[in-house]
């Protein structure tokens, strides 16, 4: 059967399934027979950008597959290994950020499903440098969302730097948020969930959120309930939600921004920031240890994503539902 992949045809263009013959893997590449690939909000964001470095582009940056061929210099991997593909394709390996374990901020990096072809295809060639081994017992549709949603969620929760017993508010209970909630609880934090969708708030309560509140009045509600939270993570780029997250902070607390939007802006209230000693930081992916931990956690039953299964042909329709906030947990394409 001819290999197929989901392409972004041009900047702001159509998302469509096409035949895709990747050819033999090049230097530093691995050819994967894919088992599953999750559909991320960033795929949607990339499809709305005025400029994309590579088009037509195979989209997708959270996939699990098996290595069927290796190019030269592809590292310690072997044919037959089961690996995860993340957004971070390769980095320079030599700069001070790479040396400090902060590869994700390397200025000379490539990204799967953005600056090079991604993982949303039956057979794909990807960069081998940053691939991660995936435990054999973990189902592909559960492992795939860990490569972006899980990794980024754990990176943000750990990056918030809270101690057990402190309060974390999670704004946006989608693919990332519903995993961040599980990680936060596992780390002993008191977690609050915020979303516009009652179905997602219901899911958050079932997962163990101390409180689950609608986004519109969240700031006031969290100030009233606890005098504010010690940190808030915004997995959404909706300015109104970020404003509420900022309002929910207690003195000396921090707001961590994760959800990206091509033209999203947030107005920072100066006096509150200064007089309450507040911080606002970006949080992007996680460390290598975070990536390995999300798989170990999931194998132990912590941070198992709630998923819906799809075929390759469904991707465009799923992206429309994602845009409307209608996907509960993560939508994942299976290739078998």
Nearer CB in complex with Zn ion: 211/285? 285
Q: How far is the CB of 196 from Zn ion (least distance, A)?
A: 21
Contact 184, 208 (CB under 8 A): no
Mask 146-165, x = binds Zn ion (CB under 5 A)?
--x-----------------
Q: How far is the CB of 114 from Zn ion (least distance, A)?
A: 10
Residue 186 φ/ψ, nearest 5 degrees? -60, -35
Q: How far is the CB of 40 from Zn ion (least distance, A)?
A: 3
Q: How far is the CB of 264 from Zn ion (least distance, A)?
A: 16
Which residue stretch of 17-25, 42-50, 189-197, 208-216 sits at the interface with Zn ion (rule: CB under 5 A)? 42-50
Nearer CB in complex with Zn ion: 119/249? 119
Nearer CB in complex with Zn ion: 95/196? 95
How many residues of this chain interact with Zn ion, rule: CB under 5 A? Answer: 8
Q: Which is nearest to 255 in space by CA: 238, 263, 240, 243? A: 243
Which residue stretch of 33-41, 134-142, 228-236, 317-325 sits at the interface with Zn ion (rule: CB under 5 A)? 33-41
Give exposure, 150-166, as e/b (b: 16+ Cβ within 10 Å): bbbbbbbbbbbebeeeb
Question: At which residue do the structure tokens 């582009």 appear?
Answer: 57
DSSP per-residue letters across 194-250: EES-HHHHHHHHHHT-SEEEEGGGHHHHHHHHHSSEEEEEE----HHHHHHHHHTEE
Q: How far is the CB of 94 from Zn ion (least distance, A)?
A: 6
DSSP per-residue letters across 166-185: -EEEEE--STTHHHHHHHHH
Contact 22, 3 (CB under 8 A): yes
Nearer CB in complex with Zn ion: 57/192? 57
- Rounded to whole angstroms, the Cα distance separating 333 from 235 reads 22
Q: Which of 6, 8, 32, 40 binds Zn ion (CB under 5 A)?
A: 40
Other residues' Cβ atoms within 10 Å of the Cβ of residue 139: 15
Nearer CB in complex with Zn ion: 157/222? 157
Which residue stretch of 16-24, 34-42, 176-184, 214-222 sits at the interface with Zn ion (rule: CB under 5 A)? 34-42
Scan residues 89-148 and list those touching Zn ion (CB under 5 A).
Answer: 91-92, 95, 98, 106, 148
Nearer CB in complex with Zn ion: 119/212? 119
Binding-site ranges for Zn ion (CB under 5 A)? 40, 42, 91-92, 95, 98, 106, 148
């Amino acid at each position: 059967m001819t290999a197929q992949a989901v392409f972004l045809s041009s900047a702001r263009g159509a998302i469509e399934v096409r035949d895709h013959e990747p050819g033999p893997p090049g230097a530093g590449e691995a050819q994967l027979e894919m088992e599953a690939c999750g559909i991320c909000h960033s795929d949607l964001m990339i499809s709305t950008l005025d400029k994309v470095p590579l088009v037509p582009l195979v989209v997708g940056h959270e996939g699990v597959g098996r290595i069927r061929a290796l190019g030269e210099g592809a590292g310690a991997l072997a044919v037959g290994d089961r690996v995860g593909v993340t957004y971070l394709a390769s980095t320079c390996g030599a700069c001070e950020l790479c040396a400090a374990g902060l590869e994700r901020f390397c200025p000379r990096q490539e990204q799967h499903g953005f600056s090079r072809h991604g993982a949303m295809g039956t057979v794909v060639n990807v960069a081998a440098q940053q691939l991660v081994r995936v435990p054999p017992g973990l189902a592909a549709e559960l492992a795939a969302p860990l490569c972006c949603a899980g990794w980024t969620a754990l990176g943000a929760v750990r990056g918030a730097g809270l101690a057990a017993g402190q309060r974390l508010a999670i704004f946006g209970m989608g693919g990332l948020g519903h995993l961040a909630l599980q990680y936060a609880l596992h780390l002993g934090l008191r977690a609050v969930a915020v979303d516009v969708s009652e179905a997602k708030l219901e899911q958050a309560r079932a997962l163990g959120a101390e409180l689950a509140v609608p986004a519109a009045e969240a700031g006031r509600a969290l100030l009233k309930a606890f005098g504010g939270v010690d940190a808030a993570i915004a997995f959404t780029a909706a300015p109104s939600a970020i404003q509420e997250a900022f309002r929910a902070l207690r003195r000396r607390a921090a707001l961590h921004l994760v959800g990206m939007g091509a033209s999203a802006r947030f107005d920072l209230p100066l006096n509150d920031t200064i007089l309450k000693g507040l911080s606002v930081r970006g949080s992007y992916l996680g460390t290598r240890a975070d990536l390995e931990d999300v798989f170990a956690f999931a194998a132990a039953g912590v941070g198992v994503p709630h998923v819906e299964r799809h075929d390759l042909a469904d991707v465009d329709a799923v992206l429309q539902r994602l845009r409307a906030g209608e996907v509960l947990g993560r939508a994942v394409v299976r290739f078998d």
